[in-house]
Structure 1
Amino acid sequence: MTELIPVFDGHNDTLMKLYEAAEPDKEKLFVEGSPASWHIDLPRARKGGLAGGMFAIFPPPLQRTRRGNAAPGTDEPLASELGRAEALDATVAMASILLRLERAGAVSVCRSAADIRAAMAAGRLATVFHIEGAEAIDTDLAMLDVLHGAGLRSLGIVWSRPNAFGHGVPFRLPSSPDTGPGLTDVGKALVRACNRLRIMIDLSHLNEKGFRDVAELSDAPLVATHSNVHALCPHARNLTEWQLGAIRDTGGMVGLNFATGFLREDGRMDPNTGLDVMVRHIGALVEALGEDHVGFGSDFDGATIPATIGDVSGLPRLIEALAAHGFGRELIERIAWKNWVRVLERTIG
């Protein structure tokens, strides 16, 4: 395919990169070009066809328990809890960066699917304000209203650590996602509040019992923005057959995570991972969910991805790999962006 197909991506951690960067002018860093080791900036996004995506606010610190590209074990501990004050400071700071990028004309912060379509038509990067880990939200949920007013439209209740609302999964392989208790009472209240406010709930990082609680409580499609197929890579972060079935039954969505540790059967964070592995996961997701329920959830700027892609400018290489494996243009366009806009229309409006 010679024509660039637009991509709407389910997950990236670029705001965290900008937050942690020493450069005070965050807008300039994003608009004019970031370090080569980063995955997303505006020039590379345009080159790769990135038309928009969920821009995650992930409150650090990121606790790493392994070194290099070693595979995880079966006893990897769950990351430690993060204090609310620290999480709130980081969350507000990253939200400020996103809003300043919008004022600079670099992105459009989209509050509806109609906003996404309008931004894409105008050639502006369509961003959805997403939070990965709800530690900044108080148990009375007052901050949820404030964040929603600022544009929050997608929320991952947990990252891979416990908080007041539930428990994430540890980075273990082989392991099922059944690694701890379900949602707390306030976690269940958070699900109901998100439904009421039309904030999409992201199930990536949530353990099995918490997943079951959301499936029982939520009246919205079930969505995992950046997760893969457990049958192909038996990592606790990936989705089992019953989880995929639950997502399918609600007309939900899964975004393929490009992180090699969640793609490879051996769980190694190895950039020398072929695109055929990614295509295999995409094929398995399409088979499990149907053609209208699969997309990309790259985890750019938050993970080790295949060197063949490199960064966001390499997205066309994945598109070409799908085409080479028999995916038709219409299906590729659904996977690349149309399915995300469809499910966001059903969740955020």
Structure 2
Amino acid sequence: MPEPDPIPVFDGHNDMLLRLYKAGSAEAEMRFLDGTPDGHIDLPRARRGGLAGGLFAAFPPPLAALDLDTGMARARYDLPSPPTLDLAPAQASTLAMASILLRLERASAGALTVCRDVAAIRAAMAQGSLAAVFHIEGAEAIDPDLAMLDVLHAAGLRSLGLVWSRPNAFGHGVPFRFPGSPDTGPGLTEAGKALVKACNRLRILVDLSHLNEQGFRDVAALSEAPLVATHSNVHAICPSTRNLTDWQLGAIRDSGGLVGLNFAAGFLRPDGRMKADTGLDVMLQHIDALLEALGEDGVGLGSDFDGALVPAVIGDAAGLPRLTEAIAARHGQALAEKIAWRNWLGLLERTIG
């Protein structure tokens, strides 16, 4: 008897483009298409694990290398925030990662499709093509006058994280601190508030992951769209600055928004440590808490593949069925499918169209 097909997954966040950008070669891009032992995602492993689509992030990396996994393996930590990234290097890296995504689409012979609306996502999934939505994690590539936003939107940008965990022209990200509160500084700048309004106008999803508490409050007051945290977890279980408090979850629920479960071990474990021996049980504990806080329509997955250390029991994209099957065993097949992909597509229909 052949193995049943895995539950499809639409993933709210991965950093595969950053991994390929750092590799810096056409060969690395071809290995993504053909299969590679590197990182968490390539096309063959995506197919084996049921990864059908997701938000593919362009993250402008710090100019100096960071070793967050080592710092976050300690029992307590308060890591210094990377310095603000200037516009020119941020634009160069972001545009380079956008180019990688477009090249992969051309080279894949239909195996990967860059999608600009939900109709395109559904069509790609129906054809077995990996449905990639262009996302930016940290808006450093956008000038305060927002001229670059129109260019990026024309290139396919449909989802934008205002900040990563460093300040920029638009707002302030949370530092990597455990234990800690997301209440870590001031809110959005005037340019940040203008960016939120422009994203609403262009139907670009505004991602609240990495944003501090006051910035979150500012977006909640300004935005006309559902509130979304693409890859964040529950602060009451793991009191990291990166996780969402009860009031934040309530605001997301009241807006008809969504939270994607982050697989990064340090944002899952109650002890906050970035360790691979993290079990499915704690992932399911976060799922249960998100369901209680947000309801059945407000929970998705946001793996952070290729951007974080994930539980060894998952390993990479091919290991996704271990989680989706565990969710189905706990909550039933229909709800597992909602969490795995249906909720994301419903949310995107209400945001990007």
TM-score, scaled relative to structure 1: 0.97
**Aligned residue runs from structure 1 range 291-302, under 5 A:** 291-302=296-307
1:57-110 deviation line (CA, Å, top 9, x unaligned):
001125345626523635332221111111110000000000011111341111
The alignment partner of 1:40 has SS state of coil
Q: Does 1:32 align with 2:34?
A: yes
Instruction: Tell me, yes or no, if structure 1 residue 333 matches structure 2 residue 337.
Output: yes
Matching residue's letter, 1:7 = V
Helix, strand or coil at the partner of 2:178: coil
Amino acid at match of 1:83: D
Alignment pair present for 1:41 and 2:42: yes
SS of corresponding position for 2:177: coil
Contact 1:235-1:262 at 8 Å conserved across structures: yes
Count of aligned positions: 347
Q: Which amino acid aligns with 1:13?
A: D
Is the Cα contact below 8 Å between 2:112 and 2:131 reproduced in 1?
Answer: yes
Structure 1 match to 2:73: 70
8 Å CA contact 1:233, 1:265 repeated in 2: yes
Q: Please list every run of 5 or more consecutive structure 1 residues that lacks an aligned counterpart in the other structure.
A: none
- Distance 1:7-1:298 versus aligned 2 partners, 3 A rule: same
**Is the 1:72–1:172 Cα contact (8 Å) retained in structure 2?**
no
1:246 maps to a residue whose letter is A
Cα deviation for residue 212 of structure 1 reads: 0.3
Map 1:280-299 to 2 at 5 A.
Answer: 280-299=285-304
The reply on whether 1:146 has 2:151 as its aligned counterpart is yes
- Does the 8 A contact of 2:231 with 2:261 survive in 1? yes
Residue 226 (structure 2) aligned to one of 194, 212, 221 = 221
Deviation >4 Å, runs of 4+: none
Deviation at 1:296, TM superposition (A): 0.4
The C-alpha deviation readout for 1:221-264, integer Å capped at 9, x for no partner, is 00000000000000000000000000000000000000000000
AA aligned to 2:182 is: P
1:101-155 deviation line (CA, Å, top 9, x unaligned): 1111341111111110011011100010000000000011000000000000000
Distance, in Å, in 2 between the alignment partners of 1:69 and 1:250 is 32
Match of 1:100 among 79, 103, 111: 103
Give the 5 Å matches for 1:1-349. 2-34=4-36, 36-61=37-62, 63-64=66-67, 67=70, 70-71=73-74, 73=76, 75-105=78-108, 106-324=111-329, 326-349=330-353
Deviation at 1:3, TM superposition (A): 3.5
Contact 1:27 1:104 in 2 (8 A): no
Q: Give yes or no for contact 1:276–1:321 (8 Å, CA) kept in 2.
A: no
In percent, how many aligned pairs have the same letter? 70
Task: Say what the alpha-carbon RMSD is for the aligned residues.
Answer: 1.4
SS at match of 1:244: helix
8 Å CA contact 2:114–2:134 kept in 1: the answer is yes
Q: CA deviation at 1:22?
A: 4.3
Structure 1's 46 and 213: CA in aligned 2 closer, same or farther, altered over 3 A?
same
SS in 1 for 2:56: strand
> CA 1:303–1:91 in structure 2 vs 1: closer, same or farther (change >3 Å)?
same
Aligned mates of 1:227, 1:71 — CA distance in 2: 20
1:190–1:155 CA distance, 2 compared to 1 (3 A):
same
The answer to whether the 8 A contact 2:240-2:267 is kept is: yes
Whether the 8 Å CA contact 1:132–1:158 is kept in 2: the answer is: yes
Q: How far off its partner does 1:316 sit?
A: 0.4
Structure 1 residue identity aligned to 2:262: N
Rounded Cα–Cα distance in structure 2 between residues aligned with 1:254 and 1:65: 23
CA contact (8 A) 1:74 1:175 kept: no
How many Å separate the matches in 2 of 1:24 and 1:129?
Answer: 20
CA distance in 1, matches of 2:171, 2:200: 17
> Equivalent residue of 2:158, what SS?
strand
Deviation at 1:174, TM superposition (A): 1.0
Change (3 A) 1:66 1:334: closer
Most deviating of 63-72 and 217-226: 63-72
Q: Work out the CA distance in 2 between the residues paired with 1:11 and 1:89.
A: 21
Residues 1:66 and 1:104: Cα distance change in structure 2 (over 3 Å):
closer
